[in-house]
Amino acid sequence: MARIDIKNISDSLKHLLENEAAERNIPLNKLTTEIFEDYTKHRYSFESEKQFTNAMNHVAIAMNKNTEILEKYIESNAKLIDILTE
């Protein structure tokens, strides 16, 4: 199970983490593990949102392209009808 290595953080942050662990009456390792897991969960959630947004942008681009093609098709048919009815 991953956790935050408290050896590599500033003394002030370490002090805050120790106080939080003491307040919640849990070991510091458990607190840092929870923080890391929450961060990982939210990071993956953000990545999923980003991928969804990118996918929706590609859908919008494809729809715009299809709309342009459809508009050109309608214009061409209108011109053809004009030519045939002259």
Burial class (CB in 10 A: 0-12, 13-18, 19+), 31: buried
The per-residue pLDDT for 32 is 83
79 pLDDT band, cuts 50/70/90, is very high
Residues sharing a CB contact under 8 Å with residue 9, sequence separation 6 or more, in sequence order: 17
Give residue-wise pLDDT tens across range 5-50.
667 777 888 888 888 889 989 988 888 888 888 888 777 777 788 8
Of 7-11, 55-59, 64-68, give the lowest mean pLDDT range: 7-11
What DSSP designation does 82 have? Answer: H
Task: Output DSSP code: residue 10.
Answer: -
The tokens for 54 are 């990118």
